[in-house]
Chain A
Amino acid sequence: MNTTLLEINDLQSEIFNKNSSTTVVNNVSLTVGQGETVAIVGESGSGKSMTALSILGLLPRPNGAITSGQIVFDAQNLTELGEQDLNRFRGSEISMIFQDPMTSLNPVFTIGNQLIEALRSHEKISKKEAWLRAVEALRDVHISDAESRMKQYPHELSGGMRQRIMIAMALITRPRLLIADEPTTALDVTVQAQILDLVKELRDKRNLAIVLVTHDLGVVADIADRVYVFYAGNVVESASVHDLFAKPQHPYTQGLLRSVPRGTDNRLQSIRGMVPDLTSIDRTRCAFADRCDFVQQHCLDTEPVLEAADIEHNVACHFYNNLKKRESNADTSA
């Protein structure tokens, strides 16, 4: 948290179609300190995964591209690099794990083959040495019987096991940053908890920085230091986990928190309306206006920008100051 490891400035990424383009990441800025865990939260289609993919230049090819902004990792701007130079960072300094462990491993190669390949593409070591390192990497993620797992194919293993292997593969080169794109979404609840515990353990052991993309606020509360809330390709609020859960400022964040089931309150609310279609979004107004309970004329005229609401707490809403009052009014009238 002391020194910055990754800094994203005004990132804009687009997906190009035949005659149109869609801005999926819109002027996003965020920072990740060394050893820090930063969560990116949002609904599907909010641009959170696209931001994560942009970092390593992994936007879908050939129609996805970063159109402006910088991604600075360890004083190197990654957006300036070509594929070949980027490959020096991919899987070595920065690794990534993905949502669906069932499809993220190549079905026709053994686990060992894929682990060793990850290692040998960055380090000049013998096959035998790489094999030993791979076995060790599997043990680090608590996979029993590591030697025989090396010879197995992905389809022979369960989802939780495969996600462990993905983690082992990502961390085998001892990267400084791990990008985890919805790493537990496709897993069973019990397995989710095990995977999260594993990630926490490895993070603490290795002083690993993590960018965690998720839609699950429970996961955020469990693991993250700081949070960025995404909506329609924008960051709408950023704060420390404590601040965000204690005093959410943006009406969207408040809505998200209300839609999380809690032990004490059995009223569960959802945010009305639906996720806007990014292909037809109007960037001159507040993207959340259609779903906001507190919408004003000003929201339809001007797009709000991130401003400091508190120390290290930013929010993109014209009226965040007045919300509290309005909310209590709304509660009494309802």
Chain B
Amino acid sequence: MNLNTQGMDTLRLRKTKGPWRRVFDRLLEDRYSSAAAIVLILIIVLGLTAPLYVPFDPTETNPADRMQGMSGTHWLGTDSLGRDLFSRVMSGTTTSLSLGIISVLIGLLFGGAIGLISAYFHRAESVLMRIVDILLAFPSILIALAVVATLGPGVEKAAIAVGIANIPLFARMARSQFISVAKREYVEASRSVGASNARLILKHVIPNALGVLIVYSTVRLGQAILMGTTLGFLGLGAQPPSPEWGAMVSSGRNFLTSNPIEVIVPSVAIFITVICANLLGDGLRDAMDPRGTKSYMPVKQRNRRSMLPKKKVEQ
């Protein structure tokens, strides 16, 4: 009597491309995210190669040249100690970026491990998730501050601090992701033919959950860079004379009136990097979202709904 079952084949047949390919295609369709990815790659390349092309030593002071405006020699002017701002901001790229990337990796690795353990070992779950809950009771920047208060200031310590602040967020995300992957049909199927737990986790669960976690890492990257520069600004991260962007803003702050470019240059660098990371994160998230067709197609949606098994309702 039910005529709806035929719709199912139609939907299955449409799935032809691999999931990663589809995500990539959709990302390419998104002009802003593609542009952001390109700019981000450019920033990374320019940052890594900075020592090859910057005209001045980024840390060498030269009081005679202090607070000069933009010129042929000093493209972006100089700071209050006569250091070339272009050389400093380009050399600082690696510090600020790697701070963000390392801290996200720390979050991904440890948070992912905690998520995996608590998704599979029920005894560990309650304890681990309680701890995660308590850590989530702290705003992330407070965790970072607490860690810096413990370890003392420094750029490596700031990376660890921001990383630790990331762990509970990733743990939450990873746990729900691992649980949802474990419930999927093919995992159930492998389990039913007697695949071992370890094999299941390695072969099916981790690769499938990783996609979402990598996207989440990109989403967090912008915030991590921001938090790293914030610690730098507060004087708790990278220490002078390191050309880290946050620290540069902090030292330029005292000359806001006389030499505003000293604040503006590193600020613009932070802004461009973070907005690109955010755009890329947004784009990846949209591309991963299976419902993420931006103009929604009601006909298909109605089909899909009527495919669901009839709801059991008691009167």
User: In this assembly, does B185 line the interface, its C-beta being within 8 Å of a C-beta of chain A?
Assistant: no
Nearest Cβ on chain A to B291's Cβ, whole angstroms: 15
Whether B313 pairs with A63 at a CB distance below 8 angstroms is no
Whether A188 pairs with B3 at a CB distance below 8 angstroms is no
Whether A277 pairs with B10 at a CB distance below 8 angstroms is yes
Whether B302 pairs with A49 at a CB distance below 8 angstroms is yes
Whether B7 pairs with A60 at a CB distance below 8 angstroms is no
Whether A261 pairs with B3 at a CB distance below 8 angstroms is no
- Which residues from chain B contact A17 at a C-beta distance below 8 Å? 295, 297
A interface majority secondary structure: loop
Q: In the complex, how many residues of chain A place their beta carbon closer than 8 angstroms to a beta carbon of chain B?
A: 41
CA distance A50 to B301 in the complex (A): 13
Whether A191 pairs with B313 at a CB distance below 8 angstroms is yes
Whether B299 pairs with A194 at a CB distance below 8 angstroms is no
Q: Could you tell me which residues of chain A, from 289 to 319, have a CB within 8 Å of some CB in chain B?
A: none
Q: Could you tell me which residues of chain A, from 203 to 230, have a CB within 8 Å of some CB in chain B?
A: 215-218
User: In this assembly, does A39 line the interface, its C-beta being within 8 Å of a C-beta of chain B?
Assistant: no
Can you list, as one digit per residue, whether each of A143-162 has a CB less than 8 Å from chain B (1) or not (0)?
00000000000000011110
Whether B303 pairs with A15 at a CB distance below 8 angstroms is no
Whether B315 pairs with A43 at a CB distance below 8 angstroms is no
Q: Inter-chain contact count A-B, CB under 8 Å?
A: 83
Whether B314 pairs with A259 at a CB distance below 8 angstroms is no
Whether B7 pairs with A188 at a CB distance below 8 angstroms is no
- Which residues from chain A contact B305 at a C-beta distance below 8 Å? 100
User: In this assembly, does B197 line the interface, its C-beta being within 8 Å of a C-beta of chain A?
Assistant: no
Nearest Cβ on chain B to A130's Cβ, whole angstroms: 27
Whether A43 pairs with B6 at a CB distance below 8 angstroms is yes
Contacting residue for B299 out of A18, A45, A159, CB 8 A: A45
- Which residues from chain A contact B1 at a C-beta distance below 8 Å? 216-218, 259-261
Q: In the complex, how many residues of chain B place their beta carbon closer than 8 angstroms to a beta carbon of chain A?
A: 23
- Which residues from chain A contact B311 at a C-beta distance below 8 Å? 102, 159, 186-187
Contacting residue for A44 out of B3, B312, B314, CB 8 A: B3
Nearest Cβ on chain A to B30's Cβ, whole angstroms: 13
CA distance A260 to B311 in the complex (A): 22
Whether A188 pairs with B312 at a CB distance below 8 angstroms is yes
- Which residues from chain A contact B303 at a C-beta distance below 8 Å? 44-45
User: In this assembly, does A334 line the interface, its C-beta being within 8 Å of a C-beta of chain B?
Assistant: no
Q: Could you tell me which residues of chain B, from 275 to 315, have a CB within 8 Å of some CB in chain A?
A: 295-299, 302-303, 305-306, 310-315
Whether A215 pairs with B3 at a CB distance below 8 angstroms is yes
Q: With A44-B302, A215-B4 known to touch, is A274 a contact of B313 (CB < 8 Å)?
A: no
Whether A159 pairs with B3 at a CB distance below 8 angstroms is no
Contacting residue for A259 out of B3, B9, B10, B298, CB 8 A: B3
Contacting residue for A188 out of B10, B298, B306, B315, CB 8 A: B315
CA distance A17 to B296 in the complex (A): 8
Chain A CB count within 10 A is highest, among B1, B9, B296, for B1
Nearest Cβ on chain B to A77's Cβ, whole angstroms: 25
- Which residues from chain B contact A256 at a C-beta distance below 8 Å? 3
Which of A's residues lie within 8 Å of B, judged by CB?
15, 17-18, 22, 24, 42-45, 49-50, 60, 63-64, 99-100, 102, 158-161, 185-188, 190-191, 194, 215-218, 256, 259-261, 270, 274-275, 277-278
Would you give 10 A-B contacts (Cβ < 8 Å), ordered by A? A42-B3, A43-B6, A43-B7, A64-B298, A160-B313, A190-B315, A216-B2, A256-B3, A259-B1, A259-B3
A-B pairs, top 4 by smallest CB distance, nearest first, are: A159-B313, A160-B315, A60-B298, A43-B3
Extra pairs beyond A100-B305, A188-B313, A277-B10 (5, CB < 8 Å) = A158-B315, A159-B311, A161-B315, A190-B315, A274-B7
